[in-house]
Amino acid sequence: MNKPRIGIFIIAYNAVNHLNKTIARIPREVYDEVEEIFVIDDSSKDNTYYAALGYKAKHGIDKLTIHRNEKNQGYGGNQKVGYQYAIDRGFDIVALIHGDGQYAPEVLPSLLEPLKNGQADMVFGSRMSKPIEALKGGMPLYKFAGNRILTWFQNRWSGLNLSEYHSGYRLYSVHALKRLPFESFTNTWHFDTQIILAMAERNMRIVERPIPTYYGDEICHVNGIPYAFHCLATTYQFYRNRKRKTLSYPGIMDIPRIIPG
């Protein structure tokens, strides 16, 4: 079996103080096996793009490529750009990392494993599989409570059993991404919920793996109340569609598969 072609996609917006450190934290074993590490700066207002170019030049990293959207695409929109890039480059696996360093690159070997072994279509890095560790890692109590409440409703409506929906640490089979109409999804924050539900609708294999939680001085750009509303509305619509199909065609909708990590 040929080794999969792996790309690491680093999404960045106003991350000048964190991006280079995040790149440097990618484990050597992962760095050696990936084909490309591509940064897409979403038209930051700071010097994120130029700092990344400087880092590439200083360290002479050929497999690190730096890109910049001319106009801000939004959190979901920037992911669309990156996933289409991974498809066009012919990668087999794409790993999404946030440039602010909140999601630890050090755990990439564990997260890549199910995809490299052909056991998953998506790997989800969860902070809440061990909830007490999320609090120890500095997750604010209001975010912890909001995450738990939203996840309870979303599991109830989706038929899934995820420990959370709101971690941005995700790795995908590019073949699976090709089957999703992600270009039609929102450009804002609940893109992450939409892509999970799109995979569930197609009965794709989702594997959860625990990740450490870290909250530092990074700036959160999410407006919590609209985000929560959109996540719930999107999941409830999924529930209504699933129920309608089940009533019309009994037995046609399988329960989506969540594979323990």
pLDDT attached to residue 2: 84
Residue 221 scores a pLDDT above 80: no
pLDDT attached to residue 251: 40
Q: Predicted confidence band at 220 (pLDDT cuts at 50, 70, 90)? A: low
Place of tokens 């072994």: 117
3-state secondary structure of 38: strand
Domains and CATH numbers, the chain: 6-250 (3.90.550.10)
Residue-wise pLDDT for 120-165, tens only, equals: 999 999 999 988 889 988 899 999 999 999 999 999 999 999 999 9
Place of tokens 């129920």: 243
pLDDT attached to residue 242: 86
The string of DSSP codes covering 133-175 is HHHHTT--HHHHHHHHHHHHHHHHHHS---S-S----EEEEHH
Residue 230, number of CB atoms within 10 A of its CB: 17
